[in-house]
Amino acid sequence: MLDFSKAREAYNDYLVSRQITKEPRGLYEPVNYIMNLGGKHIRATFLMMAHGLFDSQTTEIVKQSAYAIELFHNFSLVHDDIMDEADTRRGKPSVHSKYNINSGILSGDAMQILVYEEFLKIKDADKRFQILSLFTQTAKEVCEGQQYDIDFETRDDVSIEDYLLMIKLKTAVLLASALQIGAILAGASTADAEHLYDFGINIGMSFQIQDDLLDTYGEQASVGKMIGGDIQQNKKTILYLKALEHLGELESDFLSLYESDLDIKEKLPKVIAMMDSCHTKEKITLMKEDYLAKALAALNKVNAPFAEGKKALQDLAIYIIERSK
């Protein structure tokens, strides 16, 4: 059984061995750069822990698959940073800032192709087909989620249901597929693999809602980034949408404030005061906790031979949802 620290350590040790030395250097050096830029490697770790529920041996193909999932996640970050014109990633220059935009686009494209190269190494034909089918669907959904996120910037009719669909596609499905891939590699039953997928979906939803909460209500020293970034960019977060749902006659005042160009030091406390007037934080916290409860209920349905691993997954899920940064 792998707990979080052991799974993460095993993945980090494996990552060291996966430096790409092929030519052309200009294509692969940015790949090595983003893959070794840090991060918690949550998706890779979840994949390995899900596998460990059914098989005590962490084989090479499990590590390769975890690496593949991280390749795709980091590919999405490279292209997101280009679209967002973000100069930094994890406190360091983003790929397109360190190299150039063309390198960011092309190296990102190569990363997505390399994912398939890793999954094609799976020798069991049935498992390979299941995983490639699942990943292809997931990759498409992540792109759909990103497009919804872009569309929301210019839409005035975004609903809470729209937003929840967007974060499910953009964030939750990749986490869920990582867990299901780990289960498939271990030979888990279809039912158990699907329960782990449901666990991942609900954890991903709760995780993103917590991110929204931290962006507005977190403490900068703990979160490690500017508080109120979403508000400064006028993003239609779950907090914004829930506030609109309950502000009533104050809705127009809230919209004027939210869309204003006030400095964030002046804008943030005013937005928070209006959100607090209709208990937005409390309502969204309950939504976050509801998704966490659904996740743990799905995990509880998993019938795994190494059941102690379920406790490790449960503890990790609670940790990443209740985090303060």
pLDDT band at 226 (very low <50, low <70, confident <90, very high): low
- Give me 31's structure tokens: 């790949």
What pLDDT digit, counting tens, does each position of 93-128 carry? 999 999 999 999 999 999 999 999 999 999 999 999
Handedness of CA 288, 67, 139, 136 (dihedral sign): negative
For 256, left (φ over 0), alpha (ψ -120 to 50), or beta? alpha
Task: Look at residue 324 and tell me whether its pLDDT is greater than 60.
Answer: no
Q: How many residues make up the chain in this entry? A: 325
Average pLDDT of span 202-217: 95
Question: What whole-number distance in Å separates Cα of residue 21 and Cα of residue 70?
Answer: 18
pLDDT for res 2: 77
89 - beta bridge partners?
A: 92
Task: Look at residue 50 and tell me whether its pLDDT is greater than 90.
Answer: yes
The residues near 240 (Cβ < 8 Å, ≥ 6 apart) are 230, 258
The average confidence (pLDDT) of the chain is 93
pLDDT for res 208: 94
Average pLDDT of span 230-252: 93
pTM score: 0.94
Task: Look at residue 274 and tell me whether its pLDDT is greater than 80.
Answer: yes
Average pLDDT of span 75-103: 93
Question: What whole-number distance in Å separates Cα of residue 91 and Cα of residue 121?
Answer: 34
Question: Contact at 8 Å (CB) between 201 and 210?
Answer: no
pLDDT for res 79: 96
Please, what's the b/e burial string for 49-61 (b: 16 or more CB within 10 A of its CB; e: otherwise)? bbbbbbbeebeeb
Amino acid at 192: D
pLDDT for res 84: 86
pLDDT for res 183: 98
What pLDDT digit, counting tens, does each position of 279-296 carry? 999 999 999 999 999 999
Nearest to 86 by CA among 72, 71, 73, 104: 104
Domain assignments of the chain as residue spans, ordered by start: 4-317
Question: Contact at 8 Å (CB) between 172 and 204?
Answer: yes
CATH among 3.40.50.920, 3.40.50.880, 1.10.600.10, 3.90.1150.10 for 4-317: 1.10.600.10
What pLDDT digit, counting tens, does each position of 175-185 carry? 999 999 999 99
Task: Look at residue 311 and tell me whether its pLDDT is greater than 70.
Answer: yes
Cα–Cα distances (Å) from 18 to 57, 68, 89, 179, 208, in that order, read 20, 11, 21, 22, 30
